[in-house]
Structure 1
Amino acid sequence: MTEIASVLGDAQRAAEARGGLVDKLLAGKMITTPKVEAAFRAVPRHLFTPEVSLEAAYADDVVRTKRDEHGVVLSSVSAPWLQARMLESARVGPGMRCLEVGSGGYNAALMAELVGPTGDVTTVDIDSEVIDRARRRLAAAGYDQVRVVLADAEDGVPASAAYDVILVTAQAWDIPPAWTGQLVEGGRLVVPLRLRGLNRTVTFESRGGWLESTSVLFSGFVPMRGAGAHDKPRLPLDGERIALVFDDDLPESADQLAGVLDMPRADVDTGVIFPNMVSFETLQLWLATAFDGYCHLTVDKEKAAGRIPPTVGMGHAAVDGASLAYLGGHKVDDDMFRFKVHGFGPDAATLAEAFAAQVRHWNHAHRDGPGPRVTVHPRTTPDSELPTGRVIDRRHSRIVLSWP
């Protein structure tokens, strides 16, 4: 009897913790639809996160489930707020056929709840350990109807296509043709996509051979493995203390940047003031579209303290020939922050002023706006058939960021 009482007590505590999490997501407007609320109340998240305590299982935070020998996270159960936002954006509903790329079990169970008995859910992952774990966790939670597939998702899962929704839970650098080709017309692809080094989860709708965004969400995921993996080229500027990171190949002028931090510095005040602790994600995207040489300046703050003025955010920067400029600033008071730009190199003043001008333009034209529209086109699409905007060429696709 004592053992039975303990089991019942654990189930009661789990139900209460799950209810508390859902109430929090509702209060924060992360969940806005009854069907997603019902799915989150039904799926026992703690059964998919046995590595952590009950409290941690129902915290609104990521649970890391696998690391490599260097401690780098290879697989995780995403934060509930992000899963809720992605599912609502995907508009998963009864009877739909869905594919999840990047498995863990929990998200697939939520999708199974949303599609119901007439729907179909497939989850795929490249890692056999992750797949075995997902299969065990799904069975333990009562969702063994979910199809679990071991494969490189670069080719999708054609056996169970076509899909109303493809939901990707790993950071992608490109959109493989299989993902677009295995969607029904008007179907939705929700994918964490790297846009010039910036991580954004984009919901696309299929437009018959190309994709158009319906929402863009700031987020972060573990990187894609397998054929879709892509390393970020790194250019050291001061040993390992300070470096530039690019999303594509290094610029042809990379050798000219040697010693750039030892050259005269230019500082430009943008005059733009922004609230502390508030995301300026549209500014990041605007800068990424404004400069051909957009990149990120990474600084080891302990080892490079005082070497250069502090960066802001991800170290948003631009290079032009032998010169470099990046975004910095300082707190005005406890509530507000003022953006500045710091430049180095022979044309530091010119590049820093151009960078500051783009910050001012964003402040005037896009600060309170919706951000860019993102479209994805086949790699063979000629320039004349692309919308106006910043074109990002990838292995399989041409991605365009267009601002209103």
Structure 2
Amino acid sequence: MIVTNSPEALRAAMVDHIKAAGHATNPTVERAMRTVPRHDFVPEASIDDAYADIAVITKSASDGSALSCASAPIIVAMMLDQLQVKPGNRILEIGAGTGYNAALLAQLTGPGGSVTTVDIDPEVTAGARRGLDATGNEHVEVITCNGSLGGPENAPYDRIIFTVGAWDLTPAFWEQLAPDGRLVVPLRWRGQTRSVAFVRDGDALVSDSMELCGFVPMIGQEGERSGAIDADGLVTLYWDGDQAIDAAKLSGVLDQPKEAVWSEVLVGPQEPFDGIWLRLTAHDSRICRISADRAAVDAGLCTPAIPARSPALAEDGSLAYLVFRKIQEGRFELGAIGNGPYGGHLAGQLCEAIEAWNQDRSAKPTVRAYLSNASTSAISFDPAMSHEVIEKTASRLVVSMC
């Protein structure tokens, strides 16, 4: 008899929950997650926490921010579905974590394949090594190195997966990914992070799926900029280095008169609307992230739809950001608040984007990634689609959408 709070019962319940949420759709992913004992990789956590749908923090910085963790199981399953591992694949994982994901990858590729996992932190790789050895995964290779360099020792790879957040993609991943290979990465642009599944197409990496996510960022990638726009430092903008956004020009903008514009688009309490932000990255170079502390929200200074992360449009000394208001029980109207000389105009444009998203809420852009030194002739544009070119340090993204 299996005790209801035994690791086996809790693991079965965990996978049942993941399946009900629409993930682990690949039977091999489901089987691996029902097999690998997650609690053996997070020995400091309780058995209940090991199988709960939460991230388990395994190393923190002095300020309390997470440096390493075991990702929430539902995110693990989602990304493994995206990776589409086949038996015999050679796999590289960037971000060793606890070793749990590498053990799942070893199950998926089987005895004919190989798994290499790398991490910059020797404490993290030592912990991953212990967990892998304790669960019979001695054949998984664990390497301590800068993840931006990949794992040249065992390249090329049929599959590459990041379990840390990346702002940029370095040449190593073009050099080490096999032709027709797949790369899954939590990639950050314009203030939001998506788990993007790329397929290699010559010198381009072309997306075929994207899912909202959040990850501990990779060390050493400092392309995102940030700046407070109020005197008390309660409201911060985040943007990319290639954007013409200057926080100094926006200082005090929230003290200026505000103008609210409403879209007549309604959502329920569980309906996601993050697609508005994603779509805007293909249409508007002014899109960024706004984050407001609770004190700013309570004072009415800045009231974004999601205080910690909402889309905003910033131009010179004007700003608009996404908001919502309750219309009736369980229904909320999306809109925008603008501040500054052109804040109302920006709010209207943000509402136009909300209305466009409402016409097809499931539509997503395509992202093509190239090395930054790729020739202009090698970059593909569809003239029937709107697109934005996002310049990073080592790579260039072309985000396209009708």
Structure 1 counterpart SS, 2:262: strand
Tell me the distance in 2 between the aligned counterparts of 1:79 and 1:114: 19
What's the offset of the Cα at 1:192? 0.2
- The one of 389, 394, 397 equivalent to 1:396 is 394
Q: What is the identity, as a one-letter code, of the residue corresponding to 2:350?
A: F
Aligned-partner SS, 2:363: coil
Is the Cα contact below 8 Å between 2:29 and 2:77 reproduced in 1? yes
Which structure has the bigger radius of gyration?
A: 1
Of the three residues 286, 289, 295, the one matched with 1:296 is: 289
**1:128 equivalent in structure 2:** 122
Q: Match of 1:273, SS?
A: strand
Instruction: Check conservation: 1:233, 1:249, Cα contact below 8 A.
Output: no
Among 111, 135, 139, the alignment partner of 2:105 is 111
Contact 1:316/1:327, CA 8 A, preserved across alignment: yes
**2:271: which partner in 1?**
278
SS in 2 for 1:374: strand
**Conserved 8 A contact 1:287-1:359:** no
The residue identity in structure 1 corresponding to 2:320 is: A
- CA distances 1:331-372 after superposition (whole Å, capped 9, x unpaired): 1123211012111111222222222222222223x32x3311
- Aligned runs of 1:247-396 on 2, under 5 Å? 247-248=240-241, 251=244, 253-308=246-301, 310-313=303-306, 314-364=309-359, 366-367=360-361, 369-383=362-376, 385-388=379-382, 389-396=387-394
Number of residue pairs aligned between Structure 1 and Structure 2: 394
Give the Cα separation in 2 of the matches to 1:252 and 1:93.
Answer: 44
Q: Are residues 81 and 255 of structure 1, via their aligned partners in 2, closer, same or farther at CA, if it must alter by over 3 Å?
A: closer
The farther-off stretch of 123-132 and 294-303 is 294-303
CA RMSD of aligned residues (A): 2.1
1:2-401, aligned counterparts within 5 Å? 13-104=6-97, 105-226=99-220, 228-248=221-241, 251=244, 253-308=246-301, 310-313=303-306, 314-364=309-359, 366-367=360-361, 369-383=362-376, 385-388=379-382, 389-401=387-399
SS in 2 for 1:332: strand
Aligned counterpart, 1:3: none
Most deviating of 296-305 and 260-269: 296-305
Bigger drift between 178-187 and 345-354 goes to 345-354
Change (3 A) 1:296 1:397: same
TM-score where L is the length of structure 1:
0.92
- Taking the aligned partners of 2:108 and 2:233, their CA distance within structure 1 comes to 48
Q: 351-360 vs 302-311, which deviates more? A: 302-311
Question: Helix, strand or coil for the counterpart of 1:289?
Answer: coil
User: Matched residues, percent identical?
Assistant: 38
User: 5+ residue gaps in structure 2?
Assistant: none
For the residue of structure 2 that corresponds to 1:358, the secondary structure is helix
Counterparts of 1:16 and 1:164 in 2: how far apart (Å)?
34
Shift in CA distance, 317/58, structure 1 to aligned 2, threshold 3 Å: same
**32 and 349 in structure 1: CA distance in 2 versus 1, 3 angstrom threshold:** closer
Check 1:134–1:346 CA distance in 2 against 1; reply closer, same or farther (3 A cut): same
